[in-house]
Amino acid sequence: MKILAIISGEYGKRHVENIIRHAPSSWSVEIWHAPTLFPLVIDYPEDYLPPSFPPADLLLAFGEHKGIAELVPDIARLSGARAVIAPIDSEAWLPRGLARQLIGWLAQMQVACVTPKPLCSLTETTYDLARRTRIYFDNPLIAEFARYFGKPELKIAVDPETRLVTSVEVHRDAVCGCARYVADGLVGLSTDDVEQEAGLRHHHFPCLASMGIDPDYGDTLMHISGNILRDAVGEQVKPFKQIHYIAPGQRSEGQS
């Protein structure tokens, strides 16, 4: 699969570096560094684009300005891309209205487009747009990418006697690499502590999703991303967690 990644800052740079480091050997990744300054209205997109792009199957729109998102249809046309992943990790970079327009523009070109919000909600068949709003899609190119990068999927092994984590395999990493970073710090921890540690390591990575309150979630996308990862960890260790019961009117152990 031929991938063309559009980047303009640290957000895209980190994503592309992780993809190149862990992608299947059959993939090729080209990078276009987009401009960082745009007018309020882009009348002539060609003024901001090179005359040609490397051939691509899948376009990754990691730009950090809404003006870059407006160039995506022209980039898809020039590169021959048949599918686009345009994440909404910040409404400042890809406002929801523009995201809907982008999907429409590309559909007219018979180019598939998904706009996961946040990016780490992407699976082979679904992505999230808001709380309790999951979108289903069917596209082999995007599905192939999401087999390896998207919604974190971990396989955690636990010693049933000690309830300590013995190993963590990353079956699907977050595109930015956060899941691998978190996984590296979980081995040896008690199943009672592992979710909290996963949340702390996600914060320390750090996640580059927006820290502003998102109107579709009523929360920050950084926090939503952290919850996705914590849930992935929690589901794996749930059978091994120690449950403490409190009986009303009784003193806990050690209380005099």
CATH code assigned at 12: 3.40.50.720
Residues 134 and 13 in one domain: yes
In a domain, 214, yes or no: yes
Residues 49 and 133 in one domain: yes
Residues 36 and 57 in one domain: yes
User: 0.75 cut: is pTM over it?
Assistant: yes
* Number of helices (H), then strands (E), in the chain: 7, 11
Q: Which residue has the tokens 């009348």?
A: 43
The DSSP 8-state label assigned to residue 76 in this structure reads H
Residues 9 and 43 in one domain: yes
Residues 162 and 124 in one domain: no
Q: Select from 209, 220, 244, 254 the least CA-distant residue to 62.
A: 209
Q: Which residues constitute the domain of residue 34?
A: 2-146
Residues 99 and 186 in one domain: no
Span 68-86, pLDDT tens digits: 999 999 999 999 999 999 9
Span 203-221, pLDDT tens digits: 999 899 999 999 999 999 9
In a domain, 252, yes or no: no
Domain count, the chain: 2
